[in-house]
Amino acid sequence: MKLTQTPIQSEEEILERAEQMDEILDLSTSDNDMYFIFGNMIADRIEEYEEKYLELPKVESHEMLSMLMKNHNIKPSELVNISGDIHEIIKGTRNISKDQAKKFANFFNVPIKVFIN
């Protein structure tokens, strides 16, 4: 229970918890078993530490979109329903609107702030 409730205090501890989380999640057989629940509770502590202490470099929204498309093997034509201006957005010549940011966030299952500069 300590792993799931105690805040992480150091980078060394975050690495230890991540390893323990992976081991616990490997034992999981469904989204409802205790291994899965405990693994995600440890992930919550890791996320809290990262949000508080780790500063990620700023990535422009169009660069993030391009990276996500590449990682998920998504072609621009597959995103035309979100924006008809997808090519201009990818090039960085057109900004992503808030409505488009919501749709991209839902599509890629990431926080909306990824697409808002």
The structure's pTM equals 0.55
Provide the pLDDT for residue 15: 93
Return all residues near 116 (Cβ < 8 A) that are at least 6 apart. Answer: 61, 96, 98, 101
Q: What is the pLDDT of residues 51-98, one digit of tens each?
A: 888 776 788 999 999 999 999 999 999 999 998 899 999 999 999 999
Taking CA 19 as the corner, what is the angle to CA 12 and CA 31, rounded to the nearest 5 degrees? 135
Distance CA(47)–CA(76), nearest Å, equals 31
85 and 44, same structural domain? no
Question: CATH no. for residue 98?
Answer: 1.10.260.40
Structural domain containing residue 27: 2-53
8 and 40, same structural domain? yes
Q: Are 90 and 65 in contact (CB under 8 A)?
A: yes
| Residue 82 DSSP class | T
